[in-house]
Chain A
């Protein structure tokens, strides 16, 4: 299915990527081309086929619900673009 610039704008918004207006048309063309190629999947009969989310057959392991690490704010904040005391500094979230 072909997608248009408005759809790219919407999807870019969902993905939190600022795309300039002049990139919307080219992206719509590129992505439409890829989606058109992907549509050959419709040829495959998948009636009654269980979706495959992983190739690992085992069930996910359980572990004790205990704290395994923590208590080291300096390590946690070591790569923060902005930090103050033991906190990340982020833009204002609540108006």
Chain B
């Protein structure tokens, strides 16, 4: 018998099309899986009734011959996406029981194509974190477990864990410095951060607006391509949304990659990189060579400055974006003796420690006397980093790197050292600064039996090439490992 929660999104859509099972059956199987997986803390809000209603409506559409691209597919939604009438918190206490009266464009696109919502997924508070430990709802536990409980990464830890554990066929996620790709790497899933502007940011709780971008986490490259095709698209409600055609990205999966030139940036060979990560990278290079790619060493000389530049730019933008949480129009209000005290009390009670730290850094680097030395300097370094990529893409079609400098680590292990936590994004953050598409996909397991991810970086709007290369690596890696069910 087919276990419906073991299917890929593609297989499930095929099964729905051939009437092997109904959307309601598929959804009920996933609702049960979500309920059984509460120890993972991936879902912070389950919406089973809504899911079943949406599935029944999907079955009715299919019976009428009106099924959309994702019709009947049960998905999880990162709780950074506003969902109409369904609590949206960004995993912050400051949003309280906020129920949006509108739907984010990305989720609206998914529902337009017939997808079913299972509920809202855990994340680091306001997507600020690399381990899901800054969530007001407590951390997500990685379904991959060894002698201790591990982080699924962050900030999209709930999305990655839910997909890896078979709780949903795919999930929405967002990526400001690595928040799709690092969790994908830690959980053996596929995640893609598209080109900045591919997906509308409208209705997504803002963190750092010049870096934030939505994308999918899925179990296969093809599944990620199917989801991306629905999520992307121009939106007049986001002035940075790109008015470009959205191809059917799944058409790129399985295409030959023969003759493509793949850059290997030498600066990503950082000191202290675990031998297993190095080995995986070499393996990835070998796979692409076998598939007919030409391997070229490239130089991205400003790579080491990307993280420090990011930790000025992202907090600066966050301090501005999060100024809206003032306890007046929505969310938490803690009264004080006067207006200012009410602001200060509300924000002190509502924001967690990491969010406060970043707001303070952002406020500091934007304050009079420091703006030029920090913020302006970081914006100039950002240009240097983007120029490095421009030059590299004059010689190559895509880049191959590791996704993260380690496998998943234990919960609590980096919690006391913000800088150690920030280093998780060392290989991913450059892509956000330059606005490029980046994909993480599983390459293999380390000696502990934990998944490790490879990252592909493409030219602006060239996600198609990433899906082709990802397909080639996926085929060669033949990554079939799944976490043993302990929850």
Q: Can you name the residue of chain B whose Cβ is closest to the Cβ of A12?
A: B360
Asked if A67 is an interface residue, CB under 8 A from chain B, the answer is no
- How many whole Å from B242's CB to the nearest CB in chain A? 7
Contact status of A49 and B210, CB under 8 A, knowing A15-B363, A81-B333, A88-B329: no
Docked-complex contact A58 and B376, CB < 8 angstroms: no
Interface assignment of A63: CB less than 8 Å from any CB of chain B: yes
From known contacts A16-B340, A18-B347, A92-B338, infer whether A54 and B210 are also in contact, taking CB-CB under 8 Å.
yes
Q: Which of B24-32, B220-228, B308-316 contacts A (4 or more CB under 8 A)?
A: B308-316
Interface string of B123-149 (1 = CB under 8 A from A): 000000000000000000000000000
Contact, CB under 8 Å: A91 / B338 = yes
Question: Distance (Å) between the CB of A45 and the closest chain B CB?
Answer: 9
Within 8 A of B (CB), among A58-95: 58, 60-61, 63, 75-76, 78-82, 88, 90-93
B99 to chain A, nearest CB (A): 6
Chain B positions within 8 Å of A93 at CB level: 339
Contact B367 A38 (CB under 8 A): no
B347, A17: Cβ atoms under 8 Å?
yes
CB pair A41 B239 closer than 8 Å:
no
Selected from A51, A63, A88, the residue in CB contact (under 8 A) with B376 is A51
Q: Which residues of B contact A75 (CB under 8 A)?
A: 101
Cβ–Cβ contact B330 & A54, under 8 A: no
B377 touches A41 (CB 8 A): yes
**Across-interface contacts of B326 in A (CB, < 8 A):** 16
Contact pick for B331, options A53, A78, A81, CB 8 Å: A81
Chain B, 204-224, CB within 8 A of any chain A CB = 210
B357–chain A nearest beta-carbon distance, Å = 6
| Residue in B closest to A60 when the chains form the complex, CB atoms | B239
User: Beyond A18-B345, A79-B330, is A56–B435 a contact (Cβ under 8 Å)?
Assistant: yes
Main SS of the interface on chain B? Answer: helix
Tell me if A2 is interfacial: C-beta within 8 Å of chain B.
Answer: no
Across the interface, B364 reaches (CB within 8 A) one of A11, A16, A82, A92, namely A11
Q: Which residues of A are found within 8 Å of B380, using beta-carbon distances?
A: 44, 46, 49-52
Cβ–Cβ contact A11 & B376, under 8 A:
no
In whole angstroms, how far apart are the Cα atoms of A55 and B418 in the complex?
27
Contact with B along A29-48 (1 / 0, CB 8 A): 01101110111111110100
C-alpha spacing A51/B473, complex, angstroms: 37
Q: Given A55-B386, A88-B328, is A38 in contact with B344 using a C-beta cutoff of 8 Å?
A: no
List residues of chain B with CB within 8 A of the CB of A54.
196, 210, 240, 435
Q: Please state if B418 and A34 are interface contacts (CB–CB under 8 Å).
A: yes
Interface residue? B464 (CB, 8 A)? no
Which B442-483 residues have C-beta < 8 A from chain A?
A: 460
Interchain CB contact under 8 A, A31 and B360: yes
CB nearest neighbor in B for A75: B101
> Cβ of B197 and Cβ of A52 under 8 Å apart?
no
Closest A residue, CB atoms, query B359: A15
- CB-based A-B contact count at 8 angstroms: 156
Is residue B167 contacting chain A, with contact meaning CB distance below 8 A? no
Are A41 and B329 in contact, CB atoms less than 8 angstroms apart?
no
A51 CB to closest chain B CB (Å) equals 3
Give CA–CA (A51, B345) in the complex, Å.
36
Task: Report yes or no: A91 in contact with B339, Cβ–Cβ below 8 A.
Answer: yes
Q: Looking across the interface, which residue of chain A has its beta carbon closest to that of B386?
A: A52
Q: Which of B196, B319, B436 contacts A56 (CB under 8 A)?
A: B196
Residues on B with beta carbons closer than 8 Å to the beta carbon of A27: 357, 360
Instruction: Tell me the chain B residues, 67-82 only, with Cβ under 8 Å from chain A.
Output: none
- A92 to chain B: which residues have CB within 8 Å? 338-339
Encoded as 1 (CB less than 8 Å from any A CB) or 0, chain B from 331 to 349 comes to 1110110111111110110
Which chain A residues lie closer than 8 Å to B382 at the CB level? 51-52
Distance between B125 CB and nearest chain A CB, rounded to angstroms:
14
A5 interface hit (Cβ, 8 Å):
no
**Residue contact B383 to A51, C-beta cutoff 8 Å:** yes
Judged by a CB distance under 8 angstroms, whether B356 is at the interface is yes
* Cβ-closest chain A residue relative to B309: A41
**Measured between C-beta atoms, what is the minimum distance from A69 to chain B in Å?**
9
What chain A residues lie within 8 Å of B197 (beta carbons)? Answer: 55-56
* Contact residues, B183-219 vs A (CB, 8 A): 196-197, 210
> Separation in Å of the B344 CB from the closest CB of chain A?
4
Could you tell me if A40 and B308 are in contact, using CB atoms closer than 8 angstroms?
yes
Please list the residues of chain A having a beta carbon within 8 angstroms of any beta carbon in chain B: 3, 7-8, 11-19, 27, 30-31, 33-35, 37-44, 46, 49-56, 58, 60-61, 63, 75-76, 78-82, 88, 90-93
Q: Which 8 pairs across A and B sit closest by C-beta, in order of nearness?
A: A55-B435, A51-B379, A79-B330, A46-B380, A18-B344, A81-B333, A52-B383, A18-B348
List 25 A–B pairs whose Cβ atoms lie within 8 Å, in order of A's numbering: A16-B340, A16-B343, A16-B344, A16-B347, A17-B356, A18-B344, A27-B357, A35-B361, A37-B311, A38-B374, A40-B304, A40-B305, A46-B381, A49-B380, A54-B210, A54-B240, A56-B197, A61-B236, A78-B99, A79-B99, A81-B331, A81-B333, A90-B328, A92-B338, A93-B339
